[in-house]
Structure 1
Amino acid sequence: MASSKGLRAAGLIIFRRVPQIQYLLLQTSYGHHHWTPPKGHVDPGESDLQTALRETQEEAGISTEHINIMENFKKVLEYNVRGKPKTVIYWLAELKNSDTPVVLSDEHQKYEWLGLEEACRYSGYEDMQEALRDADSFLNSPNT
């Protein structure tokens, strides 16, 4: 549940195999137009995973029937936004059908499917790059 200590958000690092692994990043239509996986603020009474699923549906038009969540991969990022602590939790999710269309909300102006290095370049933030690299290592480990 959302804590009173700071902001809390959740999202999904969505990937597809075509056959190489590609990650979905959305470009915001506000601020610095940064690139990020679908994510958003946890609403009262919502679990972190419920938030991640809802936000992915709202921001990218991808619903639970389009993805497989890898619940044994979870990445928690903690940083400050305008002087307030923020926690963002990401799960890894595979797109079942690589042709599933991405339908953006007005919060985003563009999306890209990117290989790891490109995704890291687009994301810009060190902690997000680390999350993508960890996801990639997880996906390329022999037991995944």
Structure 2
Amino acid sequence: MSPTRAAGLVIYRYTNQVIQFLMLQTSYGAHHWTPPKGHVDPGESDWVTALRETQEEAGFTAEDLEIYKTISKSLHYEVNGKPKEVVYWLAKLKIPEQKVTLSDEHQDLKWLPLHQAQEISGFEDMKNLLADFHEEASKMI
């Protein structure tokens, strides 16, 4: 069985000398927290999905972000007994104060420093991904 594919962007902003990650709380299911992401549509590339989902879920376009195409990481896990693969790219919000526009798929948002973002993510693989991306972001400030 081939995995369900999804893609998204881990967006950070650098403000008050702190790297903060954007975390969105779903309005469905267990109301988990995640970076913007979504399922890859038939015929769509992971990259196009990541851009589309970020615009749909957070209101940010590629022009709003500095996206690091060479910094990506994939997570592999099961949802309802079926394999899922999600690829994320790291992206910096160019204007740290820019407003997030949530879709109806999410009920809340938070900009959080690394440890708090890891805490609300609730999953070990996401905690590791955030730590890796924080290390990469730290090199660029």
**SS of 2:92's equivalent?**
strand
Distance 1:119 1:36 in 2: 9
Distance across 2 between alignment mates of 1:47 and 1:6: 15
- Following superposition, the deviation at residue 99 of structure 1 comes to 1.3
Q: Which residue among 72, 79, 82 is the counterpart of 2:80?
A: 82
User: With structure 1 as the length reference, what TM-score do the two structures score?
Assistant: 0.94
Q: CA deviation at 1:74?
A: 0.4
If the length of structure 2 is used for normalisation, what is the TM-score? Answer: 0.96
1:8 counterpart SS class? strand
* Counterpart check, 1:9 vs 2:9: no
In structure 2, list runs of 5 or more residues that go unmatched.
none
Q: How far apart are 1:45 and its partner, in Å?
A: 1.3
Distance 2:3 2:46 in 1: 14
Residues 122-137 of structure 1 aligned to structure 2 (within 5 Å)? 122-137=120-135
Q: Report the number of matched residues.
A: 140
- In the alignment, which residue of structure 1 is the partner of 2:57? 59
Give the Å deviation of 1:89: 0.1
For 1:38, which of 36, 39, 52 is the aligned residue?
36
Partner of 1:106: 104
The one-letter amino acid paired with 2:44 is E
3-state SS of 1:30 partner: coil
- Is 2:90 the partner of 1:96? no
1:71, distance to aligned residue in structure 2 (A): 1.2
Q: CA deviation at 1:140?
A: 2.2
Q: Which segments of structure 1 move beyond 4 Å, counting only runs of 4 or more?
A: none
